[in-house]
Amino acid sequence: MRTSRSCHKNTFVAVIKIEIVMKNLKLMKEEFIALLKETGREGVDYVIEDLEDLGFYEAPASSAFHLNRDGGLVEHSLNVCKVALKLRESMVDMDGSLAMELPKDSIIIASLLHDACKADIYKPVIKKHKNQYGVWEDKPGYDVDYSNFPLGHGEKSVIMLLRSGLDMTDEEIMAIRWHMNAWEIPFQSFDSKSNYNAAKCKSPLVSLIQAADNLAATLLERE
């Protein structure tokens, strides 16, 4: 009898946890879409639809690191957006001239959509994992598959968004294209490094999105 009650209790708790997770995913998706629509940008509705078709709202942010769980990608994107808006506020307080160079709609577009490229690369799998007792057990996880559209990272995001019909400024395109460059510099050609440096000099949005992405992943999303 006790065993039966314990099983029912565990099942009930598991169901409640799943319901909470699903509710949180729904709320994050709604917030993400509302922020994008708030920009009033031409083509944004097509982007929202295309991301839905690709599984963006259910995808993890990574396969083994930050927010490697269902809905992690939209959560990370929202975190980057919130950090970027806070950074903008602080920077404008220090230098008012930056307000014109860092429009809020550009920050929302670049931060929420910088990782659009990840929408179709994570595949659910079962992986072996050692539990606290040193026993191997099955655990849900993700593998990475780049074969669908193997075009890189930031550049893939830019092309996906343009193909969806999103009207983007040059500054937004550069910020999304180069948001990973601080980690990619050692592996890049002279031309790529030169283009990245020119982009940083041309637009403060490039450095802002790169910083927000790093801060969100390394500070807000620690586990």
Q: What is the model's pLDDT at position 131?
A: 79
| List of the chain residues with pLDDT < 70 | 1-22, 182-187
* pTM for this model (two decimals): 0.87
Cα dihedral 173, 177, 179, 185 sign:
negative
Nearest to 126 by CA among 141, 115, 108, 110: 141
List beta partners, residue 128: 138
Q: What is the model's pLDDT at position 158?
A: 98
Q: What is the model's pLDDT at position 210?
A: 95
Chain-centre distance for alpha carbon 180: 12
Q: What is the model's pLDDT at position 136?
A: 85
Q: What is the model's pLDDT at position 4?
A: 56
Q: What is the model's pLDDT at position 1?
A: 52
Q: What is the model's pLDDT at position 183?
A: 67
Q: Within 13 Å and on the Cβ side, how many CA atoms surround 45?
A: 2
Q: What is the model's pLDDT at position 216?
A: 96
Q: What is the model's pLDDT at position 191?
A: 87
